């Protein structure tokens, strides 16, 4: 199956004024704009869930979630996959869920090094269909390192689903199999994407302001 087209936000896309949507009061002065509202995120995930369920067919699969930012996307995606199975004529398919933690950012800068912080039971990969769930693909280098690790376990197949792909000149060229949105090269927060562990409790995907970066910098806490 050919990878579905994603929603592309152009470079001149400004998003929505923060005043148009509900955001936690403590973040109101720290956001430039709301890039993708929560409702649009949910509708797009529903379509991704359908695409994934159709392609995986009736074979059981294993889900590997990249923590920490991927947890909310994972929860919403799996719930919508289960809904699809419940309301379609197809039989439901069992799946297992595992977690891995990688680290590549300090403040808003990539460190250039990928650290594998946590791996849960990679022995499950052998001869299995694996769905890797990621919040955002930036340069793509982190995912390429992870896939090299996973391939050594000899899975039957590996597919990658990412809610976001950032359009950046430093991209390695890696493209996930399933993408929600392609976005401009801006530093974003919300929907479990953080800045120094803040903003995970924000439902929308937003552009952080310079004031927000200073306010929540490691050097300010």
Catalytic residues: 138
Residue with tokens 């409790």: 201
SS (H, E, C) the chain: CCCCCCEECCCCCCCECHHHCCCCHHHHHHEEEEEECHHHHHHHHHHHHHHHHHHHCCCCEEEEEEECCCHHHHHHHHHHHHHHHHHCCCCCCCEEEEEEEEEEEECCEEEEEEEEEEECCHHHHCCCEEEEEEEEECCCHHHHHHHHHHHCCCCCEEEEEEEEEECCCCCCCCCCCEEEEEECCCCEEECCECECCECCCCCCEEEECHHHHHHCCHHHC
- Residue 199 CA: distances (Å) to CA of 45, 121, 131, 204: 20, 30, 26, 10
């Amino acid at each position: 199956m050919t990878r579905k087209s994603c929603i592309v936000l152009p470079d001149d896309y400004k998003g929505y004024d923060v005043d148009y949507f509900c955001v936690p009061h403590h973040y109101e002065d720290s956001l430039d704009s709301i890039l993708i509202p929560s409702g649009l995120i949910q509708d797009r995930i529903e379509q991704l869930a359908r695409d994934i369920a159709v392609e995986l067919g009736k074979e059981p699969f294993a889900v590997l979630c990249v923590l920490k930012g991927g947890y909310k996307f994972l929860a919403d995606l799996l719930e919508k996959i289960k809904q699809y199975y419940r309301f379609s004529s197809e039989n439901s398919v069992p799946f297992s869920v595992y977690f891995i933690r990688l680290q590549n950012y300090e403040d808003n800068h990539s460190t250039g090094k990928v650290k594998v912080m946590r791996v849960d039971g990679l022995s499950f990969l052998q001869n299995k269909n694996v769905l890797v769930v990621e919040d955002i693909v930036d340069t793509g280098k982190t995912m390429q390192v992870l896939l090299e690790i996973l391939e050594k376990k000899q899975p039957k197949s590996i597919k990658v689903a990412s809610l976001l792909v950032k359009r950046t000149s430093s991209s390695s060229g890696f493209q996930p199999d399933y993408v929600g949105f392609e976005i401009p090269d801006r530093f974003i927060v919300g929907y479990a994407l953080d800045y120094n562990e803040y903003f995970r409790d924000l439902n929308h995907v937003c552009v952080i302001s310079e004031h927000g970066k200073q306010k929540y910098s490691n050097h300010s806490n």
